[in-house]
Every structure is written in C-alpha cells, then in structure tokens.
Structure 1
C-alpha cells in the first residue's frame, strides 16, 4: 500500500531499466486501499512479472499456507536477491530465503521495515513479540535497508543495534515530480491524502477543521482522498462535528492530481517512516502542514521547526497560518535544491544495487 509499494515500484522499474530481471510477489486483489493502479502499471514492465499471493497484515495460522505459496513462487523464479518490504514481507524474504539457501541456492536476503513492526511500543505485548522475531531473523539477514535515519534509530532503540550489515536508502522522486502543481480554480482549503486508518491521523485532521470552523472560519472546505476500513467512521465523525457540507471524501488517486484539489496539504500522522507523500508535496511546491513524527523531520531538515505535534489544536494553528499567509508559510519549508539533492530515484536505485552487489559477491566466495 501507499509509500511502501511506491518504493517497491520505483526500485523495480529502475533496476529493470538497468538490465536486471525483476519480479514482485504481493498481496491478492481486493484489499481496501491497495495500490492496484501501480500493480497494473508494473505487470507488463518487469520481466519476471507480478505474482499475487494472499498476505494478511495480521499474524495468524493462514500465514503458513500463504508462506508455502510464496515459497513455490521463489523456487520457480530462482532469484539472486530477495528483498522483503514491510514486516510481513521481511519475514517471508528472510525465512523462506533461508529455506532456499538450505537447498544450495545463493539468494541474498534483504529487508526494509518501512515502519512496520517498529510502530509498536517497546512495552506492549505485540511489540515485545514482534521485536523478538525481528532480532531472531537478523541471523538470516544479509542486509537491512532502512528508508530513514529515524527508522534505524527506532530499530536500535526497540530491538538493538543491527547485528547484520545495514544502510539508509531514502525514498526518491523523478525529475518530473519537482514541477509545481497549481490548485484548480475552485480548490478547497485543505487536503488529506492517505490511507484511512488511525495511524495516519485523519480523525485529527477532521477535529482540526472543526476547531477552525468554530474559531470563525465558517466557509472552510477540505478534501479527504484515500481508502481504508475507517472511511465510514470518519464520515460519521465529520457529520457529528457539523462538517458534512465542508468535507468531501474521494477515492484514492495519484498524488499530483490530489494536490491540485486544495491549497494546502496536511499530513496529520501519529507515526511514519519516511512518507513519500510529504516529499512529493514539497517537490510540487504545495504548502505542507505536517507532524513532527518519524522521518518527517529528516525531510524538512533545517525547516523542521515548521512541524507540529500530532494534536488537533497544533494542526489547526498551523493550518490557519498557511491559509492566512501562503507566501510566508512557503518560505518556512525546505527549498527545491535541497530536496533534489537528497531525494532522487537515481540515488535510491543505485544505493540498493550497490548493497545487492556486495551481498551477492560475498555469497559467491
């Protein structure tokens, strides 16, 4: 879903363009919020194709059946590199990659958490269980590619310093994504774009809108773009706060299309790794109100003081500032030169290839 699959897609296409044979194993169709558009785009463009296997976010007995299906695909494809993305993908890549290794394959096993299990608290029961699994799987890991310095720090704090090779490989954009996006003539004031679940903070966004409206901004309008299991619950929240005529819900769409629907993009997340959508919005020169969580401060760099706490009052204050003086608010955000230097697809793809080459070469000796 979302940024994780965008990262996978961009790596796959860049590596295919560099002359490598790439395939993807991902979840079956029908999951709310899943990036089916990106799957359809990828299928004819990667030489090993897209294989669909059921992969549930929750851990359960069905995982054994699903894992067997993934193993069969891997035996068919015989990859040199197996790169698992997200917590479930990371388990499959390392555990199943090790089974293949036992059959004299030389597959290199890579893992990118993308937040995943790291979103859990160290003191929670699920967190303790997941972190024990993560620590155990390190012995079957040839390299961890974190997408943010924050992610590596969270891993070290909750699991311990990685006992295997690791590096940071940040998300990257194409040159075209640095072209500005202008709002449409009847653009709303604010945009939420993302998966509709609590960790992304859409409820905080709605509460912030209600606070602005009660403070005198009677004609405020917002667009919520995305899919997810909590869509109806969020629509009910907007109605209960008197925002039915002020908030429009739309299904998922490409980020740059969504950016044109409003004058300010709001990222009210409670937790993140290194969200693509924030980089995309800044690159498109769209005003961004975002929370000081995860790897978002890494994106903002010296402009991180513009970030706010994941709390409706703080969001409302920043949203008001962006609406009242757009030009001044834009000057608080990171500049285009800095963004281009740090977040390019070319840099991201080459860094991953360097790590792959090193691991494959080590296995050959």
Structure 2
C-alpha cells in the first residue's frame, strides 16, 4: 500500500522568536524550542536585547547561533516602557520584512508586544504573518483591579486582535491570564516546558556538599530571606550549611541579612553558574519562592534526581502532581524550617521522593513533546504559502529549499 503524505504535517516553517532579556527560564525555553525546531528542519531565527547579556548568555547564544537559518539579531530593548520601544519595534519589523517569517513568536511582555504589533505593521504593508505570545510569568503576577493589572488588561484586549494564539506553560498561568485579560480573545493552549535528554542525568552531591542549596535570581520574590531565616533557626540546634547560587538586584541585601543573622560561616554566595554545575554543591534544593510561573529549576532538579523542598505557588503543584512530594506555604519560616529539619532527619525518604519525581518529570515534560505541541499550534494559524510546502520524499527528513541565512545585527 502506498504511503499517505500529510502535506500540512510536513510543512517547513520560517519561525522568528522575539524576546527581550536573554536570561532566566524564558531564555532557556526559547533556546530549547528554537533549537529543536531548527533540528527538525525549520528555518528559525531569534531577536533579543543587545544590552542585557552576561558572559553565560553570550556563551549560550554563540552555541545556538550556527543553527539559526534566520540568524541571531541583537537590538536594544529597554526594560521599562518608553520611546525606545518604538525604535525596537521598527527594528523587529525591518528584520521580519527581510526574513519573511511565517510565525512571529513573542516571549514575555516586551517580546509579545513586539511580535503582535509587528504583525499589524507588516499587515499594513501587505505582509501576512501569524503572531503567537507566551507570557512567561512576570506580568501574570499583577493583581486584577490595580493600575498595573488594568493596564495589562487593556493592552491584552487590544493586542488580542492581532494574536493568533497564546501559549501558557501551566494551567496556573492560563488562569492568571484569564483573571487579568478575560476569557474571550485569541485561542489559548497550555504547553508545559520540557527538558532535553542531557537534563535527565543524575547530579549527585559532592562529598563536601552543603546540606541545602538555592539556585535562582536573587530577588525578594524568590524568598531567599525566608530561607536565611529558616537556616538561622535550624543552626541553633543543628550543624547545617547552605549555598546560595545566583545573582540579582537583591544580592547585596541578602548577603547583609546573612551577616546580620550570623550566618557568614555556614552560608556562602558563589554567584551565578550553570545549573548542572550548581546541583552537586548541595544535598537538597530549596525553592522558597513567594511566586512562580513554571520554574525550570524545579523541573531540572527533578530530572537530576535531587531531593527538593518547594513552596505551593504557581505551576509547581502541576510539576509534582501524582508524586509524594509535599509542598509548603510560601513565606512561612516555620514551615520551611520544619521541612528542612525533616530532610536532615531522614535523608533516605527525601531520596525516595526525588526518584519518584524524576520518573514523573521524564514522563511528562520533554523538549520533543513541547515542540510537537507548539508546531501543531502554529500550523493551525499560519497563512498557507505554496512555496513553503516543499516535500522531498516520504519516510525521511525534508530538505529546506530556500536559501539559508545567518547574521548578527547589533
């Protein structure tokens, strides 16, 4: 029997991802998604901010750049709203007109605005493109009825007219968006973040590892102050050590708080480093966040089989669902200290819970599954272009027939 060819499924797309700050979980998500899309033969490009990259960011961008047929474009993007946004939007539109993408996928508030307003601008010049938006937390933490919440609602309802689809990392994010922007508007799908095969490698603690480990941005929202208070309480009765990995706007304040609590000898701040290097530095990862969306650090700790203590916020309950992992209330020093004490008292039980979580993460959260779902969503809205539907043969990878391009614009 002759094989049946599904032309739509085999359509090769031109995809341009737009984000502002190339740091954190948003950056990890874009690199994973863009890399897998490129591996499958799609022509992919990334537009990102040129002013906020650190040494680790530059290394990661340099690694993915050769895979991007539509190139890596770095342009100035301001964190706060202002006149600079118009210049950034014009740059996005200029790049898009040159590269002729089928999809503009904006990530985060700024990336989402540039992608969707870019679609409107391009349409005014007769260029059709589908625009997708992934909020990635941040603005989803606004409270309905506040000035920021109302502004977000008005902007999303306006830009919803130019949005072909909104992608959420979790049910929590979808519900938060609905509270702010309402339930009507563009089509919405929950597509959880995924991990690559390299993430599912055990990262055992070193022989000199600290008892507890924090990895993340050093800011109030992440609850590092709660962790320090819990360590101070434990240290009164237990020999305990902790290491706090990361950088951020509140780093100096947290270091000062550690000194004030007399923790200089038992808490260290080594700065930011790749998570695979950081995980062996502690025996149990602590995620004391006051708020989250769908944190990669929890997924990565689970994939590595690292014992975990985390708060019941954002999408974390969706990650640990179906496992014996108990979550604690955010902001509670008592609850965190009790959970840490339990790990010290019975590390074997903590290891067993970690093994169960690893199996759950491996079954549900992978880059291939995430990419499948995102591409399927794209194809539901991408304008049909006969020139893009080039099929070489059945049973093997397709060959992109259009000329490849690579460039870095700064």
TM-score bracket, shorter-length normalisation: over 0.9
Residues 152 and 181 in structure 2, CA contact (< 8 A), matched pair in contact too: no
Say if 2:345 is the partner of 1:324: yes
Q: Deviations over 1:221-280 (max 9, x none)?
A: 111111112211111111111111211112222212111000000111111111111011
Cα offset for 1:303? 3.4
SS, match of residue 43 in structure 2: coil
Q: Counterpart of 1:220?
A: 240
Q: Counterpart of 2:328?
A: 308
For 2:365 and 2:277, the matched residues in 1 are separated by 21
Deviates more, 1:315-324 or 1:266-275: 315-324
For 2:67 and 2:168, the matched residues in 1 are separated by 26
TM-score, L = length of structure 1: 0.94
Q: Within 5 Å, which residues of 2 pair with 1:276-291?
A: 276-291=296-311
Question: How many pairs align?
Answer: 362
Q: Counterpart of 1:196?
A: 218
Q: Counterpart of 2:380?
A: 358
For 2:63 and 2:115, the matched residues in 1 are separated by 24
SS, match of residue 144 in structure 1: strand
Cα offset for 1:304? 7.0
Q: Counterpart of 2:278?
A: 258
SS, match of residue 26 in structure 2: helix
For 1:44 and 1:156, the matched residues in 2 are separated by 38
Larger Rg belongs to: 2
5+ long unaligned stretches in structure 1: none
For 1:36 and 1:220, the matched residues in 2 are separated by 36
TM-score, L = length of structure 2: 0.84
Q: Counterpart of 2:403?
A: none
For 1:33 and 1:321, the matched residues in 2 are separated by 38
For 1:95 and 1:34, the matched residues in 2 are separated by 30
Q: Deviations over 1:117-162 (max 9, x none)?
A: 1111113211221222112211110011111111111111222114
Deviates more, 1:261-270 or 1:28-37: 28-37
For 1:70 and 1:295, the matched residues in 2 are separated by 31
Q: Deviations over 1:296-326 (max 9, x none)?
A: 0000103376101112221121112122212
Deviates more, 1:104-113 or 1:355-364: 355-364
Q: Counterpart of 1:101?
A: 123
Name the structure, 1 or 2, with higher relative contact order (CA <8 Å, separation 6+).
2
Q: Counterpart of 2:160?
A: 138
For 2:152 and 2:111, the matched residues in 1 are separated by 14
Sort the Cα spacing of 1:171 and 1:271 in 2 relative to 1 into closer, same or farther, 3 A.
Answer: same
For 1:169 and 1:36, the matched residues in 2 are separated by 27
5+ long unaligned stretches in structure 2: 1-22, 387-410
Q: Counterpart of 1:47?
A: 69
For 1:35 and 1:314, the matched residues in 2 are separated by 35
Q: Counterpart of 1:209?
A: 231
For 1:170 and 1:244, the matched residues in 2 are separated by 39
Residues 323 and 360 in structure 2, CA contact (< 8 A), matched pair in contact too: no
Q: Within 5 Å, which residues of 2 pair with 1:61-72?
A: 61-72=83-94
Residues 205 and 282 in structure 2, CA contact (< 8 A), matched pair in contact too: yes
Residues 33 and 371 in structure 2, CA contact (< 8 A), matched pair in contact too: yes
Residues 131 and 159 in structure 1, CA contact (< 8 A), matched pair in contact too: yes
SS, match of residue 306 in structure 1: coil
Say if 2:291 is the partner of 1:271: yes
Structure with the larger helix share? 1
Alignment root-mean-square deviation, CA: 1.9
Residues 33 and 227 in structure 1, CA contact (< 8 A), matched pair in contact too: no
Q: Deviations over 1:320-339 (max 9, x none)?
A: 21222122123345443322
Sort the Cα spacing of 1:163 and 1:363 in 2 relative to 1 into closer, same or farther, 3 A.
Answer: farther
For 1:327 and 1:116, the matched residues in 2 are separated by 36
